[in-house]
Structure 1
Amino acid sequence: MSLPDILTRIRSAEARAGRPAHSARLVAVTKGHLLEEIRHKVLAHGEFPLGENRGQEVRDKVREWSETAGGAPQPRWHYIGPLQSNKVKYLERVELIHTIEDVTQAEVVAEHAQKWGHAPGVLLQVHNGEAQKHGIAPGELSSVLAGVRATGLDVRGLMVMAPYDQPAEARRIFHDTAQRAHDLGLGELSMGMSGDFEIAVEEGATLVRVGSALFE
């Protein structure tokens, strides 16, 4: 599926939900893909944030871009994978981290941000109720939010993942997460992937993370 096709589907989902056009934005998930392919599949169609899930891959792509782009500005990098404290050092050029799970992680990011002279925005990853390792239990969101804000980081919203190929359950999770973000006064919602991004947009996603559909 081409990037323009994905954007058309996002705009259609916005319209079905009665949302303003362009209120949901695409994060192109580029993990495992070469810069040449990313330029052709993504950046040829405009400026979109690129989502990566490994710190070393972000570091390597930032370096390769600097060496091959002839002075063109770096793309906007987002980090969407599990956050390991010893890999935060590779995320200096990342503008948004989607996957903060506890205050300790936030403290590590804030410490590195002081060295970098700038701080990325962050999202809190919500546990979706499935048997999974990552995410904050919904009942703990308020306390974690307060703790992360105490580090000085800008908490912009929530992120959640839904089980694959279960549209009804995905809709429930997205709806619930959107309500929690509203209750906490948070505006950014990173929800939806290749198989369910349209449902996520209908339920309020402001960022959808699409990779496999884009590069198939």
Structure 2
Amino acid sequence: MEFLGLKQRVAQVRGEIADAVARGGHGQAVRLIAVTKTHGPEAVLAAAAAGITDVGENKVQEALSKQEALTAAGTMPHGLTWHLIGHLQTNKVKALPSFGLFHAMDRAKLADEAAAMAAKRGITLDVLLQVNIVGEETKGGHALSEVPAEAERLHGMPSLRVRGVMTMAPFDAPEAVLRQVFRGAREARELLRAAGHDAHELSMGMSGDYLIAVEEGATMVRLGTVLFGARGG
């Protein structure tokens, strides 16, 4: 089977995360989000069977197609939370109610569109503010200096609940840069909290850097390759 041994890998990763929490000294609980992009619905079922209750997708349509397939087959795992972790075009905000948490609120216009959609439907969306600590041109997100003003602006959008911060570190960055990025995200979360938001989450860390992220206080890590192996597509 493609996902043979996943339970053992999950147990190993959870143990490594616990050790990283102890090293970091932040004492936080850490949610493991299984990123199933480019894998089929069977990856979601395998993750759930391995005790994972959170799955993440980068692309809206891929996520919705898996949700539809699992629902149609009557195999949608009970108690599963879906996370949308990738960049979202403003014309796709109508899909956000299909997710328990949206990680990539990376620009003011997207927040405006999401808030308007949610208000019109009479719902509240849980979101994370995406920050771009070192100013990578290839990634979206708010600069740390922009966070206080955006935090105040978001107070005028009661249909959005800002739960914390998400960031991505540069690929293959040295440890010093990784720690700079993750500490910056932690600072951004504190700015949100100082502005009155119920912001406790730090979504940071992927397969190549998640243990450093946990040492720096991550409450959510987004893991694909370390769980499922290298992907195609």
TM normalised by structure 1 equals: 0.91
Aligned to 2:16: 9
Contact preservation (8 Å) 1:189, 1:204: yes
Tell me how large the CA RMSD over aligned residues is.
1.9
Contact preservation (8 Å) 1:92, 1:116: no
Secondary structure (helix, strand or coil) at the match of 2:155 reads helix
Aligned to 1:212: 225
Aligned to 1:196: 209
1:165-200: per-residue Cα shift (whole Å, max 9, x none)?
222211111012212312331321111110000000
Following the alignment from structure 1 to structure 2, what is the Cα–Cα distance between the partners of residues 70 and 81?
25
Secondary structure (helix, strand or coil) at the match of 1:161 reads coil
Following the alignment from structure 2 to structure 1, what is the Cα–Cα distance between the partners of residues 50 and 113?
35
Following the alignment from structure 1 to structure 2, what is the Cα–Cα distance between the partners of residues 149 and 135?
18
Aligned to 1:55: 60
TM normalised by structure 2 equals: 0.84
1:134-174: per-residue Cα shift (whole Å, max 9, x none)?
11111111111222231111111111110122222111110
1:50: Cα distance to partner?
Answer: 0.8
1:71: Cα distance to partner?
Answer: 6.8
1:79 aligns with 2:92: no
Contact preservation (8 Å) 2:53, 2:79: no
1:141 aligns with 2:154: no
Written as runs of structure 1 = structure 2, the 5 A alignment for 1:27-38 is: 27-38=33-44
Following the alignment from structure 2 to structure 1, what is the Cα–Cα distance between the partners of residues 11 and 17?
10
1:105: Cα distance to partner?
Answer: 0.9
Contact preservation (8 Å) 2:202, 2:220: yes
Residue identity matched to 1:169: V
Aligned length: 214
Following the alignment from structure 2 to structure 1, what is the Cα–Cα distance between the partners of residues 177 and 147?
21
Following the alignment from structure 1 to structure 2, what is the Cα–Cα distance between the partners of residues 58 and 116?
21
Aligned to 1:165: 172
Following the alignment from structure 2 to structure 1, what is the Cα–Cα distance between the partners of residues 12 and 121?
38
Residue identity matched to 1:199: I
